[in-house]
Amino acid sequence: MARRCAISKKGVLSGNNVSHANNKTRRRFLPNLQNVSLMSEALGRAVSMRLSTNAIRTIEHHGGLDAYLLKVSSVNLDPKVAKLKKIISKTVENRK
């Protein structure tokens, strides 16, 4: 499983541990990824994803998964999430 957020594309960064004696050793900064199930009102079911906490806050700020996916461009999304967006947008169009 890749250590990358499906929405925000946050991934692993690298840097140095620096000791008091100024010795430098390489280290990795891992993103804060959480396994979450977000409810899709258009699909009527929960969708499981591995998201960073920042992405979870962004989705909640926009009013839920459906509202966020309909606002954001498909170019910036993971292929699985882009496919989910396409399904949600078709479902919303059919209800109108």
Query: What are 77-92's pLDDT values in tens digits?
Result: 889 999 999 999 999 9
* Average pLDDT for the chain: 94
Positive/negative CA dihedral, 46, 50, 56, 59: negative
Buried b (16+ CB within 10 A) or exposed e, 22-40: eeeeeeeeebebeebebeb
Q: Does the pLDDT of residue 23 top 90, yes or no?
A: yes
Positive/negative CA dihedral, 74, 84, 66, 7: negative
CATH code for the domain defined by 13-91: 2.30.170.40
